């Protein structure tokens, strides 16, 4: 028996980035993850205390243990009280790869960016790059096999477009080589093999992608017969499907210190953490300067106080989305229906809210086709313009999808869509935190930042600042204090405000203009940067001082304080000079 039929896979699709495919909406910086939950029974039947698992993962700190519950399966629980910003778990991913567009700009071992010097390219495959010989030598243990596979793949590729296999294929390849080199009886192999598989309940929509991935991985590792898969622990087609299922439901997004997605990775210990749309923890890659572990360091950080015996929960998806979209994404990608407090509770959700028609300061639930009678939660005023609101939301969602698809292919057209759509959604009464207005504002801000790099002007800068501030207002209503997405966005707005302005704008009323200019602008920048650094210390770990981004902000804050000092001393000098001039005039007048 041969794999001739497997090599007939549609190679034109193999260059697609798995990072992009794993995220429902482009630009979401919330990390994807695994799901240990099975079908959730009646919560009333859930035992009061989940059972502690006898076989605890190696290296688990003393303040954590793994327990099993009826509703969620295995999960990670606190044995000690954890405060916000505590580093709950810190480790290097078991396997990680960069997404194809980032192979040129980041080190394939430590995931560090190219700085003053260019990265060193592997002379064999000429695809992956490293910071220096130290990173290259450390990665050679696995890259030796990967290097040959990349050369073999490139030589058999029908075109340059598929000269590099997808992120998923490369990550699975590294996983198999790790299992092979460590041994099938090693703890590492057992750890990877125990990850949750949903082979028995795969939706029909995933069959095609799983089949293509199976074809690609077999071709990538160079297997020509089933017997050649045995050294990797794959003795049947079911084993291969299990491997792919474990991978697709237990993969994290590898990010930079500012949450930019740059690749994918796996970590069996962190894959034990279950999901909540209102999480008490988050997974980040802060790149702390004090770390002694080899990068990329992957950390689980608490966002809120976590009590003894409380389960540690993270979000697998973008939690700024409304409940229906979150549930649909989780069910499709992770095979479970979310029943967290945010999804199962009957609470007012700012993600689907609009302003009171009587402008009392309250909000109304966004009307739907099924429930078009909506009232203000504060004054009980009824929303009469239901049809126009529904039309605006529908058109806004369509425009968001189009603009997202055009973001990199045609940014000018994408910017036109967001510029035209945001006023329509705002005039329909949607609050800044409501979907799709919040997502539209985020995309608009990103497009403006990109345009600043090509055609800087004071007007574009001010438009960018306004979009960044509106985005922060929306985020503050849906994400908890210290959430990394919120703190990074706040830091971004502060840095934009701190940019030197060549000349004051030609505003009719400068006092009422936003953003302000001169000293008020610097003071606002300083205020936002200080708050951002305070929140970064929570989301990226207090011991890390907010990670690399927190240290960068400290330098900007110091520089801003110096600039404010120059402004203040200049004003004092002017005042003193004016007083001196008046005193001189009085003396001259008396004489």
Which residue do the tokens 């003894």 mark? 308
Element housing 323 (H / E)? helix 323-334
Distances 211 to 5, 8, 207, 232, 268 between C-alpha atoms, Å? 12, 12, 6, 19, 24
Task: Kindly write down the DSSP assignment for every residue of 499-562, as one continuous string.
Answer: S--SS----SSGGG-SS--SHHHHHHHHHHHHHHHHHHHHHT-GGGTTHHHHHHHHHHHHHHHH
**Token pair recorded at residue 317:** 């998806």
How confident is the model at residue 17, as a pLDDT? 38
Architecture of domain 6-334: Beta Complex (2.170)
**Residue 311 carries which DSSP code?**
B
The whole model's pTM is what?
0.86
Please count the other Cβ atoms lying within 10 Å of the Cβ belonging to residue 378: 13
What six digits make up the tokens of 204?
């029909």
| pLDDT given at position 50 | 87
Distance, CA of 484 to CA of 490 (rounded, Å):
10
Task: Report the C-alpha gap between 438 and 431 in whole angstroms.
Answer: 8
Domain spans, the chain: 6-334, 348-471, 479-565
pLDDT at site 565: 85
Antiparallel, parallel or unpaired: β 274-275 and 313-314: parallel
Quick check: 29 and 283 in contact, CB under 8 A? no
Q: Residue 379 has what pLDDT? A: 94
321-348: b (≥16 Cβ within 10 Å) or e: bbbebbbebbeebbbbebbbebbeeeee
Which residues in the chain land under pLDDT 70?
1-48, 116, 158-162, 198-207, 290-292, 346-347, 500-512, 568-591
pLDDT at 43: 40
């Amino acid at each position: 028996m041969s794999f001739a039929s497997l090599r007939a896979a549609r190679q034109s699709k193999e260059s697609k980035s798995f990072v992009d495919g794993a995220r429902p909406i482009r630009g979401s910086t919330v990390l994807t993850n695994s799901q240990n939950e099975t079908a959730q029974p009646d919560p009333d039947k859930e035992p009061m205390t989940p059972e502690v698992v006898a076989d605890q993962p190696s290296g688990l700190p003393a303040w954590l243990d793994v327990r099993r519950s009826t509703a969620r399966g295995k999960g990670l629980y606190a044995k000690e009280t954890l405060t916000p910003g505590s580093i709950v778990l810190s480790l290097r991913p078991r396997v990680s790869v960069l997404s194809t567009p980032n192979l040129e700009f980041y080190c394939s071992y430590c995931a560090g960016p190219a700085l003053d010097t260019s990265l060193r390219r592997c002379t064999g495959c000429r695809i992956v790059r490293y910071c220096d010989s130290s990173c290259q030598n450390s990665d050679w243990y696995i890259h030796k096999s990967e290097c040959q596979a990349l050369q073999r793949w490139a030589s058999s590729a029908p075109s340059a477009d598929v000269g590099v296999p997808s992120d998923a294929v490369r990550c699975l390849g590294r996983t198999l080589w790790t299992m092979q080199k460590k041994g099938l009886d090693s703890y590492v192999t057992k750890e990877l093999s125990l990850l949750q598989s949903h082979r028995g309940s795969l939706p029909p929509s995933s069959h095609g992608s799983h089949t293509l991935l199976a074809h690609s991985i077999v071709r990538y590792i160079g297997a020509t017969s089933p017997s050649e898969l045995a050294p990797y622990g794959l003795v049947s087609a079911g084993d291969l499907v299990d491997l792919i299922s474990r991978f697709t439901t237990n993969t994290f997004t590898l990010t930079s210190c500012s949450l930019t997605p740059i690749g994918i990775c796996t970590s069996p210990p962190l894959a034990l953490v279950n999901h909540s749309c209102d999480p008490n923890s988050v997974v980040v890659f802060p790149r702390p300067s004090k770390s002694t572990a080899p990068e990329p360091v992957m950390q689980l950080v608490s966002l809120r106080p976590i009590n003894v015996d409380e389960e540690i929960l993270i979000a697998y998806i973008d939690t700024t989305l409304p409940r229906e979209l979150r549930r649909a994404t989780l069910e499709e990608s992770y095979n479970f229906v979310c029943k967290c407090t945010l999804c199962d509770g009957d609470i007012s959700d700012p993600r689907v809210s609009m302003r009171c028609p009587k402008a009392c300061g309250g909000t109304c639930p966004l009307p739907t086709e099924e429930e078009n009678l909506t009232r203000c939660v504060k004054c009980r005023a009824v929303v009469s313009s239901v049809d126009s609101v529904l039309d605006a939301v529908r058109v806004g969602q369509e425009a968001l999808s189009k603009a997202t698809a055009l973001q990199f292919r045609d940014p000018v057209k994408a910017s036109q869509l967001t510029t035209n759509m945001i006023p329509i959604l705002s005039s329909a009464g949607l609050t800044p935190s409501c979907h799709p207005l919040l997502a539209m504002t985020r995309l608009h801000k990103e497009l403006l930042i990109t345009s600043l790099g090509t055609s800087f002007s004071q007007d574009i800068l001010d438009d960018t600042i306004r979009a960044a501030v509106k985005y922060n207002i929306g985020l503050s209503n849906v994400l908890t204090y210290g959430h990394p997405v919120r703190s990074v966005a706040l830091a971004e707005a502060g840095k934009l405000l701190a940019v030197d302005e060549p000349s004051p704008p030609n505003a009719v009323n400068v006092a009422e203009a936003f953003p302000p200019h001169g000293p008020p602008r610097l003071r606002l920048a300083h205020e936002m940067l200080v708050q951002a650094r305070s929140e970064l210390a929570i989301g990226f770990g207090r011991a890390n001082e907010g990670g690399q981004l927190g240290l960068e902000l400290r330098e900007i804050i110091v520089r801003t304080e110096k600039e404010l000092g120059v402004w203040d001393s200049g004003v004092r000098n002017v005042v003193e000079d004016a007083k001196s001039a008046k005193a001189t005039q009085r003396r001259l007048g008396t004489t």
